[in-house]
Structure 1
Amino acid sequence: MNRPSRPPPAPAAAARRNRSALLVILGLSFGTLLAAGALRFSGWQPQALKNRGELLQPYGDLRDHDLILADGGRYRWKDSPRTWRIVAVPDGCDGARRAACAQLLENLDKVWRLMGREADRVHVLWGGALPMPATGMREVYPIRMDARLRTALVPGAATAPGDPVWLVDPYGFVVMRYPSGFDPGDLRSDLARLLKVN
């Protein structure tokens, strides 16, 4: 019985070609990793993952803050788990400011409606009296504002004038702020992404 013969050794040109191909594959693999690392540590993010609102550092903490509703009842954080809150604190809604407050409430109503089936997981807390009846919004809660609540929203920072809106996570931490004149689409985008996560 004849023993199988060994294949002839590959020519030197073929060996170089194989080595070059391996080096190109390794270069592409490590080059991609290096490029991804450079983008990550430079702070770049894809547009779809960027926050539209201002991310607060440090977060405000409303967990132990008793919110009093306009009718005298209490708003309890723990009664609605997995619920995100939009807190609107207008600068007075009387006289000339009434129209601006009504527009802000309409914008928040749009955001709430655009949440679709997730709308039940979003409460709108409105600081003060409503400028108009919130006819379509089941989850709007007028609350009494006080200095302690304003301080708890953004600890250690002076609030900017206008009608700021804050986004509060289900645990009672104030995580984002939207300044006066913000685009309601920005709030909707951030909230829709956060509702998917939590």
Structure 2
Amino acid sequence: MTTQPNQRASRLKFLLVVCLFAAPIIAAALLNLSGWQPTGKGYGAPILPQRNFAQEHLQVRLADGQPWPWRDSSPRLTLIALAGPDCAAHCVEVLTKMAAARITLNNNAPRLRLLYLGQPPADAATNGMKNYWALGTDVDRRLAAYRPATPDSVSAVLVESDGTALTRYPAGFDPSGLRKDLQKVIR
């Protein structure tokens, strides 16, 4: 007769454990059915409709005359910097912070390529910009919509390794927000 209360207690404990594991799944299903979806806070704006620069055959010519390969030999994202007219002190400061964001990726830094499109600053050779950035030009000016019109400013576009443009950062963006986004995307 004592085995029946022990059996009931064991079954009750088992049901409690099952309920503990099932409760979050049921709650998530109910939230999903009600239409609620979690939103991640990104600092850039999504590019809609999505564009794939490789499929569009968007041509970027590097300073050495070579074409920019949108599809790289290894999966690496590309951060494109588009300078406004007369890139000077403020523009260079933002570009430096963007390069520093790449450095903070530590071991994952090689998974991000930096591409600067436009007229380089006058002191690009002396400030070490060529050490971090591949310099090039948008041959057909098909990225003009992302380029800022404000002098001494810079905007950015983050591109997936297959050439899909993911996010844009308009002129005046927060470089520390860009760094946080990069740390989320590149792991």
Q: TM-score, normalised by structure 2?
A: 0.73
* Aligned counterparts, 1:100-179, within 5 A: 100-131=90-121, 132-133=123-124, 134-135=127-128, 138-145=131-138, 146-150=140-144, 163-179=154-170
- Percent identity between the aligned chains? 26
Greater share of helix: 1
1:36 to 21, 28, 33: 28
Aligned partner of 1:32: which letter? P
Ranges in structure 2 where 5+ consecutive residues have no aligned partner: none
Q: Count matched residues.
A: 176
User: Which residue number in structure 2 is paired with residue 156 of structure 1?
Assistant: none
1:74 to 67, 90, 107: 67
- Cα offset, 1:176, TM superposition: 1.0
Query: Which secondary structure state, in structure 2, belongs to the residue aligned with residue 56 of structure 1?
Result: strand
Residues 172 and 8 of structure 1: is their aligned pair in 2 closer, same or farther, counting only changes over 3 Å?
closer
Aligned partner of 1:99: which letter? A
1:52 aligns with 2:40: no
Contact 1:125 1:142 in 2 (8 A): yes
- The separation in 1 between residues aligned to 2:7 and 2:73, in whole angstroms, is 68
Ranges in structure 1 where 5+ consecutive residues have no aligned partner: 1-6, 154-158
- Cα offset, 1:100, TM superposition: 2.4
- Cα offset, 1:147, TM superposition: 2.9
Aligned partner of 2:143: which letter? L
Query: Which has the higher Rg, Structure 1 or Structure 2?
Result: 1
Deviations 1:63-111 (A, max 9, x none): 022211244332223454312111111221x2xx522211221121211
- Cα offset, 1:138, TM superposition: 3.0
Query: Which secondary structure state, in structure 1, belongs to the residue aligned with residue 120 of structure 2?
Result: coil
RMSD value, Cα: 3.2
